[in-house]
Amino acid sequence: MSPAPGAPGRPRTVAPGRAASRLPRRAATALAMASALAVLLAGCAPATNPDWTPPQPTTGQAASIARPADGSPSAPQAAGTLDPASVPGLSPQRLQSQRAGIGARWTYLPGGNAHAATFNERLDAVVQSAIDDQRAHAGTPKYAPAAQPKGSGLGDRGCTSGASTRDAAAILGDPASAPQGAGGPVTALVCDVVVAGGTFFGERIRIVEGTPGAVTRDTATTIVTDTATGELVEGRALFTPDAAAGVYALAVAALRHEAGALWDVRLAPPSPAALDAVDRALDAAFIGPDGSLQLAVPGSIDAPELASLAGAAALAAQPSIRLSLPAGASSGFLTPFAQRLAAAAAAPYAGPADVAAAFDRVNCALVPCVALTFDDGPEADTTGRLLDTLAQHGAAASFFLVGRNVAAGADLIRREQAEGHTIGTHTWSHPMLTTLGTTQTPAPAPTPTGTPGPSGSPPPAPADHGPSAVMQEVTRAIDAVAAITGSRPVWFRPPYGDVNDSVLRDLARVGVPAIDWDVDTNDWQKPGTDAIVSAAATADAGSIILMHDIHATSVDAVPAVLDALADRGMVPVTLDHLFGGRVPAAGTVVRSAR
Amino acid sequence: MTDPTDVPGAPAAAPASSGREGRGTTPRMRRRRAAVVLALVAAVLVAVVALVAGPGVVRNLATTVADGDASIELTSGDAKAVAPVPAGWAVTRLPWEGDRATLRSPDGVLELDLRLASDAGASTGLDPLAAAAGLAGAPAAVSSESLEDGMTWRHADVDASLLPKPDADPVVAFLAEGAAAAPGAFEQTASRIGVTARTARDRSFADYRTAVAQVLGGITIGAGA
């Protein structure tokens, strides 16, 4: 018996037709698999690694172009500078004179301690030098502080972030930095706060001369002080003598990459012209808040390694290219002082603390100073509010106190003293002194040399107080104030400004001058804020402005008065400050500091 | 089960063929026709797949990823160039293109197309590269840099205005031509390597300049082996 078909051991036979149908099926299957494999292979490209980051520039590109938002390396930008508002207590300053062709903005350190004073005095010297240079170069009239026309906008003062890195023509063409319409070359001095870290504070001063169409001078320097020691270092002195060559190499490397280079190359030794350009750049360089070295080099700097690059021509057309060298790359170029500065640049600021405005520096030889004076207080309802307003506006003032009000207002007087305002007296009971008897003469008929009494009402009837009545009125008030402040006031204002020779002689015996005024706001008539402001705004450098702190309407008008004075460039100071700390001679009448 | 025809003693079946032929076509013929149709469909399918997936398959099969820093050699006539391949970069080399290779950064953003030329009569400059890349023209401003290894490179970034298809992806971003010659002898040098860099449309070539510099800076050109 033969095994059943298909059983093991028996050859397998397939019908020809069935075999023919299986072959294409197998081939189709194979083809389908091949196609699927092909599709699979086509989609199986080597995997990418999205986390991979391309290599970064090496040390040769340590210096980078400081690029503003619009991408132009030389356009205005504030790279590496600070917002002055972020530094507490700074005292912003501004002067402007179209006649003298000068505009200047700078910022003092607060207070008057010796270390701050050293820095502030240096700023004054730089400003004065710019004024002198303007006159020498442009032949403009001598500058004298003076109130500017209404609407001058001079309340905007001090350094502004990025101001010193702007295009020179833009600085001259901006009414915020230079007088416009002077008809000839002018000088603008602008500044940036560049360092306020640890005990270090630095300001970069830029001086530009000429017209927006023709800049004839463009210099900058950075003044840095360690406020803990008073050490003051300026400009190129922040850097080692041989820093220029190293900075040149980094600068050219950065410029090469800006111009399209792919590689760092070995540079030829810099030419004297190139080194000179870098030295000038270092003179204007500064250490930024992050410790980086910020400087600007001319785009046309002499460097043969730039010549063959695609962007060389565009670079050469740039008057200056701002570069930023990170702290690590620039430390070798810094003096020990600058190294300490760079290390402290990012630390919390620990410079001079904020103080009341009266203790801040104001140089009345540079800016038009005025004295805002308030009579008849203190008054509980109004004087405190006035002091608040003065503090908010950073203004100082002078108070002529009536003796009989002193006891009730002792705390207000102490506050006036603590905030640095000048405290004077205004007699004990506010009489017309010419109606009182003097030491050597009987009571004379009233012959006021000052402004008539308020409201035009007739002065009080003469009363025979005896020969010492004037002196008693004056000294009693002085004694009352001294009992509170601990020092005898030396400033005195006669009520109604009413004095005569006899009164003045008695004032001389007491040892006080008669401080009158040249600007009367007539605020006691309550004419409204606009009228008070209009009257006050007629002040000029050296003016003494009369107001009263016992009237709510007067105090209400003070913010607008301060704004109006600031708009015209004036700075309210105390009488002590207005007269340079020298009290006018006793027994003399003074109406202004002019 | 067994075929009933093999069962002993069973009556003889009528010839199978006679009955089927009687219906016009035999199963065998139908199977053959089906097989032919199937074969044709398969052939079309294969052709389509080859057209669609073929280049990708070839490219992928020709692509390797460098495990560590490596190099590739390009040859053209008597010229030979060696280019570095940093670790992680992908290299695509077609077997029949010994003068050409494409390097792709590990993140897939940057693609460097390298081509070695050894034609002494060929025009120099970036114009041929620009034309081959389909640009509207060659960049006007060209940088020239000579490296300490003797290579001189002429290169330029491609301005967007030269791109014929602004929405192309990847974007031709950079062209370069290098020769083992001093700048003054560049024109007379027969062996030059051209480089076309493309980046993903949504990425900045500036971020990859250093990577390009590293690759190009490692390229050398010499006489063929």
A210: in domain: yes
Q: Which residues of A touch B89 (CB under 8 A)?
A: none
Indicate if A408 and A428 belong to the same structural domain.
Answer: yes
Same domain as A185, residue A306: no
CA–CA separation, B52 and A457 (whole Å): 109
Pick from B57, B58, B174 the residue to mutate for testing the A interface (most A CBs within 10 Å): B57
pLDDT in tens, B43-94: 787 787 777 766 777 777 889 999 998 999 999 988 899 999 999 999 999 9
Given A188, A211, A235, which residue is the final one in a domain? A235
Q: What's the first-to-final CA gap in chain B, in angstroms?
A: 72
> What is the number of domains present in chain A?
3
Rounded distance between C-alpha atoms, residue A518 and residue A529, angstroms? 19
* Residue A175 shares a structural domain with residue A150: yes
Q: What is the pLDDT of residues A350-372, one digit of tens each?
A: 999 999 999 999 999 999 999 99
Buried b (16+ CB within 10 A) or exposed e, A185-205: bbbbbbbbbbbbbbbbbbbbb
d(CA A258, CA A74): 13
Q: Which of A16, A27, A313 sits opposite B42 (nearest CB)?
A: A27
> Which residues of A fall within a CB distance of 8 Å from B6?
4-5
At residue A333's C-alpha, the angle toward residues A336 and A230, to 5°, is 35
CATH number of B65-223: 3.40.1000
CB contact under 8 Å between A5 and B142, yes or no, is: no
CB nearest to B60's CB, from A42, A54, A257: A42
Whether residue A416 sits in one domain with residue A506: yes
List chain B residues with CB under 8 Å of A7. none
Q: Stretch B96-100: mean pLDDT, rounded?
A: 92
Of B128 and A145, more confident: A145
A25 and B38: CB-CB below 8 Å? yes
**Hunting for tokens 């016009």 — which residue is that?**
B24
Say which amino acid occupies A49: N
Record: contact B2-A58, CB cut-off 8 A: no
Chain A residues closer than 8 Å to B88 by CB: 49, 52
Write out the catalytic residue numbers of A: 375, 548
Cβ distance B42 to A50 less than 8 Å, yes or no, reads: no
Q: With respect to residue A401, please indicate whether it lies within any of the assigned structural domains.
A: yes
Contact: B57, A42; criterion CB under 8 Å: yes
**Residue numbers in A near B216 (CB within 8 A):** 262
Low-confidence stretches of chain A (pLDDT beneath 50): 1-17, 68-78, 442-467
Residues A374, A513: one domain? yes
- CA-nearest residue to A20 within chain B is B32
Neighbours of B117 (CB within 10 A): 22
Task: Out of B42, B107, B216, name the one closest to residue A31 (CB).
Answer: B42
Residue A430's pLDDT is: 96
Residue A34 falls inside a structural domain: no
Specify whether A246 is located in the same domain as A231: no
Q: Among A32, A52, A310, select the one facing B106 at the smallest CB separation.
A: A52
Do residue A209 and residue A265 come from a single domain?
no
Give the residue among A555, A198, A142 at the shortest CA–CA distance from A342: A198
Q: Return the residue in B3, B28, B174 with the most chain A beta carbons within 10 A, the one to mutate for interface testing.
A: B28
Q: Answer yes or no: is A460 within a domain.
A: yes
How far apart (Å, rounded) are the C-alpha atoms in residues A278 and A285? 10
Looking at the partner chain, which of A42, A52, A257 has a beta carbon nearest the beta carbon of B107?
A: A52
Domain that holds residue A203: 84-235
| Total beta-carbon pairs less than 8 A apart between chain A and chain B | 150
Query: Are A387 and A402 part of one and the same domain?
Result: yes
User: Are B157 and A261 in contact (CB < 8 Å)?
Assistant: no
Q: What is the CA radius of gyration of chain A?
A: 39
Based on the fold, state whether residues A254 and A384 are members of the same structural domain: no
Question: Does any domain span residue A8?
Answer: no
How many CA atoms, within 13 angstroms, populate the side-chain half-sphere of residue A327? 15
pLDDT at A182: 83
Question: How many other CB atoms are found less than 10 A from the CB of residue B187?
Answer: 12
Average pLDDT over residues B102-111: 96
